Structure formats: structure tokens, C-alpha cells
Amino acid sequence: MQWLSVARRVFRIAAPWVLVGGIVYAFALSVETPAAPALDGARAPALGAALADGSRLDLSAPREGPLVVAFWATWCPACRAEVPDLVKLQDDIAPRGGRVVGLSVQNATPAAVGEAAKQLGMTYPVGVATPAWTEAFHVTVLPTVVVLSPNGTVSATFAGRASPGALEQAVAKAAARPAGGLEGSMDAAAPTGAAPPAGSPLACDLTRAAAHANCLLR
């Protein structure tokens, strides 16, 4: 039974370290895992935002087509890489009543955000997202894109850079959603599509103090 005695001694020595390791791992998961995005199918909150052109974005206002809200920041390379896709999307959906709006999460005036947007080639409206916006849509990474149907429900949410195909698919789904359809639903799946090219900026973590240093590459 000598082996049994040795096994017991090894267990007594190792058990505390295993327990500590488990606690540390669980804590790491709680820190690293971002909050889930706003549930697809839920009605968007009645939020408003000041835009750089002097107008306002009002989520409670009636719309003819889908609304694409893109959360971004000037220091986010994934956001900058996504701009051409959003410009093309705006050009495609505007004739059908759709709209793309970029909301900066930075503490800046709408005018300052507008100047930065011009330098980045954003031809769609831009403004400033207050904490109420980022909290309502659980924005923990940049870019985050939320697609809203004309009836005011969340059709899709992308945490991190989405492919053009996935965005187009989500907008088409939002445009086809009937009034009142799926409101409050909790089981709608996010659309799929081809991923951005290898090596392209994918996402920037907003849960860290130095968020600009936590940008992931695919």
C-alpha cells in the first residue's frame, strides 16, 4: 500500500494549487468575456444622438428602411478598415430608405467627430454615442455594428469587424422583417458571412483602460 500513501501525499500537496488555478482561471474568464450584445429581435430603446451635421438620430422616429448604427473610434484600426464597407453599404441602401450612421464612443463634440470622419472618408452621417448608447447595446469591442429594422427592432448585432457579405445579409433580413415581427424574441441568430481577409484588423477591446492597445488581428 506504499503507492497509496504516496498518492495521498501528492494529492494533499497538489490539491491547493489546483484549486487556486481554478479560481484564477474563472476570474480571468469573468474579466475577458465581453457582455452579450443586445438580443436580436428586441425593440431598440428610445435613444437620441447629436450628429455632426446639426441633426439628430432618434431611434423612436419612424423609418422607411433599415438603420445601421456603427460604433467606432479614431484610434481603432478595425473601425478604420471597416469604413469602405460601410460607405458602400450606405450607397446601396440609401435609395431604398436605408441609412448608415457612425457613432463615436470618444469624448468629443459632434463637430470634432465630423472632422475626423471626413479625414477617414466617412460619407455617411456621424455623431457621438453617449454612455446610454454603449450600455444599451452592450458595446465592449470596436467596431460594433447594430442593424435595426424599420419597425425599431434589433435585427442583428456584430461585435468586431463584420464582412461585407454578412452586413448585406443582415440589412436584407432587416428590410424584409414585417412590422411587429419577432419583437422580444430571444432566439434569433446572428447572420453569417465570409470573414474579413487574413491579417485585417478585427476588433478592439473597450473593457481595458488602454483600449487602443488591445486590438485583435485576424
Q: How is the chain split into domains, by residue range? A: 1-33, 48-217
How high is the mean pLDDT in each 10-residue block of the chain (218 residues)?
Answer: 51 48 37 43 87 92 93 92 96 94 93 94 96 91 93 91 91 72 33 44 56 46
Homologous superfamily (CATH) for 48-217: Glutaredoxin (3.40.30.10)
Q: Tell me what pLDDT residue 13 has.
A: 54
Rounded distance between C-alpha atoms, residue 140 and residue 157, angstroms: 12
Q: What is the pLDDT of residue 62?
A: 87
Phi then psi for residue 154, to 5 deg, are -80, 115
**Long-range CB pairs of 51-60, under 8 A, 24+ apart, other chains included:** 51/101, 51/110, 51/125, 51/126, 51/127, 52/110, 52/111, 52/113, 52/114, 52/117, 52/125, 52/126, 52/127, 53/114, 53/125, 55/125, 57/101, 57/103, 57/125, 57/127, 59/148, 59/152, 60/152
pLDDT at 103: 97
